[in-house]
């Protein structure tokens, strides 16, 4: 494989690194507080959270960040990690509740009383965080990143690329918040079937983009560098399309099957109900017939 046309100007992003380090320390403070007051917390939560932060640092501050401005395939890899693996790792660690525990007491108490002290704000916040809106917002922001004109702007203007990636990450976290049902739980929990379907639907926009790019022969996105494989006619766009199609929906699909297994385990753990309880003549009647028979 040969990579041509790269102008190497990468520098480590120290400000972003400092922000990530601050969040990591903040989370550690909240975890320590929660461990002392809630001993039953899962011990794997910090590992997952810090793994997500490390991957976020990798795609935003390491050479991979610079390569995302030079090669379409690297940009695709960035986006796949940003919408699937990284938010899944971060949100499964229940970050909002633990970060809230990391606040000083003078801020923690007003935050817990917010629904009572600001009911109008809380009602509006409730309406704006519905699952359907989360999916729609994720869909729009994800697809906007592949609009040819907007995409070329992000190649030429680094600040716009950073803004787009930040919005995409926040929209993905918003969506994964509903999938994983972590704190704060503002809405009625979805049934297991609904959660599974809601998760698998998240793979559709990702897979669809990969499918379209796989069958597109024209060059849609013009990047400064290019990839060449000896003996193959694969372009940078083709490699990006294959990454999109193969990796795009794996995390969503894997989480969907994980939720199916979790649902089946919950069903198996339900207490045994003797047939003498549920097979009585009254219980076996169709709904409404027991009222008519009286």
- pLDDT one digit per residue (tens) for the chain, 294 residues: 556 666 666 678 889 999 999 999 999 999 888 877 776 655 668 899 999 999 999 988 888 888 888 889 899 999 999 998 999 999 988 898 889 888 888 888 888 787 788 888 888 888 888 999 999 999 999 999 999 999 999 988 888 998 999 999 999 999 999 988 888 888 887 888 888 888 888 888 888 888 888 888 888 888 888 777 666 667 888 888 888 888 877 888 888 888 888 788 776 676 655 556 555 666 655 555 555 555
- Backbone torsions φ then ψ of 226, nearest 5 degrees: -145, 155
> Are the beta carbons of 72 and 240 closer than 8 angstroms?
yes
pTM score of the predicted model: 0.83
Q: Report the Cα–Cα distance between both ends of the chain, in Å, rounded.
A: 81
What is the C-alpha separation between 97 and 166, in angstroms, rounded? 22
> Are the beta carbons of 95 and 176 closer than 8 angstroms?
no
């Amino acid at each position: 494989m040969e990579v041509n046309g790269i102008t190497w100007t990468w520098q480590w992003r120290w400000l972003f690194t400092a922000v990530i380090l601050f969040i990591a320390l903040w989370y550690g403070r909240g975890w320590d507080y929660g461990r002392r007051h809630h001993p039953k917390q899962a011990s794997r939560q910090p590992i997952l959270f810090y793994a997500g932060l490390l991957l976020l640092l990798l795609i935003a501050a390491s050479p991979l960040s610079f390569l995302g401005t030079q090669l379409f395939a690297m940009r695709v890899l960035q986006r796949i990690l940003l919408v699937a693996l990284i938010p899944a790792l971060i949100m499964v660690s229940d970050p909002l509740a633990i970060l809230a525990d990391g606040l000083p007491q003078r801020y923690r108490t007003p935050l817990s009383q917010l629904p009572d002290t600001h009911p109008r704000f809380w009602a509006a916040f409730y309406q704006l965080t519905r699952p359907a809106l989360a999916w729609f917002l994720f869909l729009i922001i994800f697809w906007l990143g592949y609009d040819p004109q907007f995409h070329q702007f992000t190649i030429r203007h680094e600040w716009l690329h950073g803004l787009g990636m930040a919005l995409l990450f926040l929209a993905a976290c918003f969506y994964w918040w509903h999938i994983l049902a972590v704190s704060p739980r503002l809405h009625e929990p979805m049934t297991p079937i609904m959660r599974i379907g809601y998760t698998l639907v998240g793979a559709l926009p990702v897979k669809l983009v990969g499918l379209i790019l796989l069958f597109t022969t024209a060059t849609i996105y013009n990047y400064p560098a290019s990839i060449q494989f000896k003996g193959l006619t694969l372009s940078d766009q083709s490699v990006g399309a294959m990454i999109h199609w193969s990796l795009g929906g794996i995390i969503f699909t894997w989480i969907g099957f994980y939720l199916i297994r979790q649902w089946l385990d919950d069903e198996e753990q339900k207490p045994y109900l003797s047939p003498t309880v549920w097979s009585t003549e009254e219980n076996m009647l169709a709904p409404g017939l027991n009222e008519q028979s009286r």
